[in-house]
Amino acid sequence: MLITLNERTLQLRSPIATAHGTTTHRKIIEITVQQDGFFGYGESAPLPGFGLETFEETQAALAEWSKNPHSLPTLPAALSGAATALDYLEQSKSQIGLPAGSVAVQALVSATNISSLEKQITDAINDGYSAVKLKVAASDAMTDIKRIDIAVKLIDNQAVLRLDANGGWTTREALDVLTSTNTSRVALVEEPTSDPENWQQIYEETGICIGADEHLTDQAQINRLVDLEAAQTFVLKPSVLGGPPPTREIASEAARNNINVIISSFLDGPIALRAARDLALELAPLEIHGLGTAPLFVEDLPIDVQPVNGYLRRPQTNAPKTFI
């Protein structure tokens, strides 16, 4: 097996502020595996503040794997890219193409400046998105309340509003913010605090469904979430979960426990976005997924990972020969 690695940097049009910090660009490693004339493609891109390895550690792990393909990387971001490439290699070998399909995706909004916030939300509605995810908990509670109120008014009945706190609120802050807004218009809040122990209380007092995200990277934490009945939705990022196989396993566990599944981007490049789109079509084709991130980059990503009227569309394909 021949493994080729290529580094690439994608620039964001505007910085994205979260409770973990501000992101201005994404450094990614594109992976090509070749065997007996068949190809598979993957992508690794750790992000500071999300509990993954550093970019340099990813580089080293993938370089070692390229020399010894029979020993997969163990670091999360490196493993996700390698496993994705191998998953597509097996599909290529099968000579069975994927059918055409489309999934609804949400727009991601993180602007703290009010005029920028209004423009981003208005643009999302005009572009046909049926859900908008607003990043919160990167500033003070009063600012979050004002931003959420603006989002609710602008969206009206045209889309659903989702919030993502990235664990940045305390329980008191979460309750203060969420009970000071029109909670009937908020469909989901991801990771409201850093401790799932209090998510059930937040759900009961606000009526807003809770989404787990960062807490899904460890099986012990997943078991705890299920035992606590802490989340009604699992937000799965294949780029940090080890690629398609673990993502499928967690989705199956969620289904067994009546937990919804959303497939989400990790501010991914085109290869990982394409893989996430395919998993969304496979695992939850009727859901609105967190995969509308291609327009956030300065670079024009391939058309099949660019949202059109709020949807990502997969063309009818044979075995994936041209992928990037």
Q: Report the pLDDT value the prediction gives residue 316, as an integer from 0 to 100.
A: 78
Dump pLDDT digits (tens) for 33-56: 999 999 999 999 998 777 789 999
Q: Enumerate residue ranges in the chain where pLDDT < 50.
A: 319-324
Report the 10 Å Cβ neighbour count for 105. 30
pLDDT at 318: 60
Of 105, 124, 109, nearest to 277 by C-alpha is 105
Distance spanning both ends of the chain, measured CA to CA? 19
- Quote the pLDDT of residue 321: 46
At the fourth CATH level, the homologous superfamily of domain 2-94 is Enolase-like, N-terminal domain (3.30.390.10)
Kindly list the distances between the CA atom of residue 160 and the CA atoms of 188, 216, 296, 305, in Å, as whole numbers in the listed order.
9, 24, 20, 22
The torsion angles phi and psi of 246, rounded to 5 degrees, stand at -65, -35
Report domain extents, the chain. 2-94, 101-314
In CATH, the number for domain 101-314 is 3.20.20.120
pLDDT of amino acid 97 = 78
Q: What is the DSSP string of 198-258?
A: GHHHHHHHH--EEEE-GGGSSHHHHHHHHHHT--SEEEE-HHHHTSHHHHHHHHHHHHHTT
Mean pLDDT of the chain: 93
Q: What is the dihedral angle through the alpha carbons of 113, 117, 118, 119, rounded to the nearest 10 degrees?
A: 110
Q: How far is CA 121 from CA 10, 179, 256, 290, 296, in A?
A: 23, 22, 35, 15, 13
The pLDDT tens digits of the residues spanning 3-31 come to: 999 999 999 998 887 877 889 999 999 99
Query: Hey, what amino acid is at 28?
Result: I
